[in-house]
Every structure is written in structure tokens, then in C-alpha cells.
Amino acid sequence: VQLQASGGGPVQAGGSLRLSCAASGRTSSTVFVGWFRQAPGKEREFVARISWSGGNIYYADSVKGRFSISRDNTKKTVYLQMDNLNDEDTAVYYCAAGGPRAIVPQLYDYWGKGTQVTVSS
């Protein structure tokens, strides 16, 4: 399974971005796609996850109400709509795929290269 994250960039506080995670290969071996982020000097943290069926959506408390995860199975793509961004959202964002219904990065088997999100105030 190969994952390609895109859509990051600079944005002003209060603005929005939509990240995309395009999957290819044997995606049927995976159940969930998750978004994680890592800020400089910090550990990678969970942001949101969704199953390929569209259910089991779960958000980190820090993004609940501001971020929305969705998927388009015809395109094998998972999206992360990020609204009302603040400087604490600045990080490299990664998408990952795996089987367990998990929020810890160690339980995800496949990872894409990250996309940088920089929020300026």
C-alpha cells in the first residue's frame, strides 16, 4: 500500500486547508486511514481516523469541531478538512493506513510522506 499526502502549505490563523491522502496498491488489506501530525520537537500525535467504509470516525480533542475527515472510495482518497486553524496546528501532517481501530501510530502499517502545514498569526 502506498500513500501520498498533499494539500499542505502556509495559511493564516483562522483559515482553512484541505489535505488529501491518495492510496494505491492493496488497500483491501487495510481497514482504517488515520491522519497524524508532528510539530518540531514533539512526538507524532493522532489527529483523526476513518474506516474505508466511512464509519468509525474519531477525532483528537484538540481538533474536534474544527477538522473533518472523509473519504472517496472511488478515488481511494481520504480527506482532512481543516478549518479555523491556529498556530498550534503547525506541523507536518502524515496519513497512515492499517487494520486496528487505533489512535497510536505504532499500530498503523503504511505511511505516506508528510505534508507541511504552517499557520501564521
Q: Give residue for cell 466511512.
A: 54
How does pLDDT run across 23-48, given as a tens digit for each residue? Answer: 999 988 889 999 999 999 999 999 99
How does pLDDT run across 37-79, given as a tens digit for each residue? Answer: 999 999 999 999 999 988 899 999 999 999 999 999 999 999 9
- pLDDT over 90 at 101, yes or no: no
Query: What is the strand order of the sheet 2-6 is part of?
Result: 2-6, 17-24, 77-82, 67-72
Averaged pLDDT for residues 92-120: 94
